[in-house]
Structures are given as C-alpha cells and as structure tokens.
C-alpha cells in the first residue's frame, strides 16, 4: 500500500534525532501542526529549547525535502518554553476578567 504524503512526512520525521534528549523529534514532542497540501507543500512548527542544537532545523528541512512529491517545505521555529502555554495565557485575559455579556432589553 502506498503511503500518503502525511504518512511519508511522519516517517521522515521519525528518523530525525534530537541528540540532546536521545529520541527522534516526534517522540521528543518537538513537532506540531504538520500540514500538507495536495500539491506537495509541507509546513510544520518545530519547538526548540535553548539547549537544542540548531542543526535539528536543517535536518528536519532536509529530511522533508527528500520525500518524493514534496515541492516546498516551511519549518516555523518556535520557542519550546512557549509550547505548553495556551493562547489564553499568551494574549487574551482570563475569562474572569472579561466584562459580563450585555443583556438586550426587549420592549413590548
């Protein structure tokens, strides 16, 4: 059975090793938001800590570029210390700090 592009991407990433933690980038939970298109474009987020070797980015990109059918690769490098924060922790105030919803008055 032929693998689809998403499966080939996952397979390729499973072979890219992060020597700092001794596992591949998928097992190390460094990769998120993998997206592929029907015309062969691949985009993902790669979370690096200050202790990670920056060559991991190059290895991920190179590994993906070698996949048959891939036409473009975009690796968005992000700070691993931000990986576990939800969007509400980084931009919006907690719901308890929001004003109560307006109640519409109905006239009869």
Residue range(s) defining the domain that contains residue 66:
5-80
Tell whether 15 is covered by a domain. yes
Query: Is the whole-model pTM more than 0.85?
Result: no
Give a yes or no: residue 90 inside a domain.
no
- 89 lies in a domain? no
Asked whether residue 97 is assigned to any structural domain, the reply reads no
Cα–Cα distance for residue pair 16/26, rounded to 1 Å: 8
Q: Is residue 14 one of the residues assigned to a domain?
A: yes
Q: What is the pLDDT of residues 29-80, one digit of tens each?
A: 999 999 999 999 999 999 999 999 999 999 999 999 999 999 999 999 999 9
The CA–CA distances, whole Å, from 18 to 29, 49, 103, 108 equal: 11, 11, 54, 68
The CATH number that applies at residue 71 is 3.30.300.130
Our count of domains for the chain comes to: 1
Q: Is residue 93 part of a domain?
A: no
Query: Does any domain span residue 98?
Result: no
């Amino acid at each position: 059975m032929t693998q689809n592009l998403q499966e080939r991407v996952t397979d390729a990433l499973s072979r890219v090793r992060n020597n700092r933690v001794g596992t591949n980038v998928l097992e190390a939970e460094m990769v998120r938001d993998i997206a592929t298109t029907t015309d062969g474009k691949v985009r993902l987020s790669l979370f690096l800590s200050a202790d990670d070797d920056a060559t991991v980015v190059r290895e991920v990109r190179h590994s993906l570029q070698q996949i048959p059918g891939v036409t473009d690769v975009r690796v968005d490098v992000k700070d691993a210390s931000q990986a576990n924060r939800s969007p509400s922790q980084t931009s919006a105030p907690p719901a308890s700090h929001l004003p109560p919803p307006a109640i519409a008055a109905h006239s009869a």
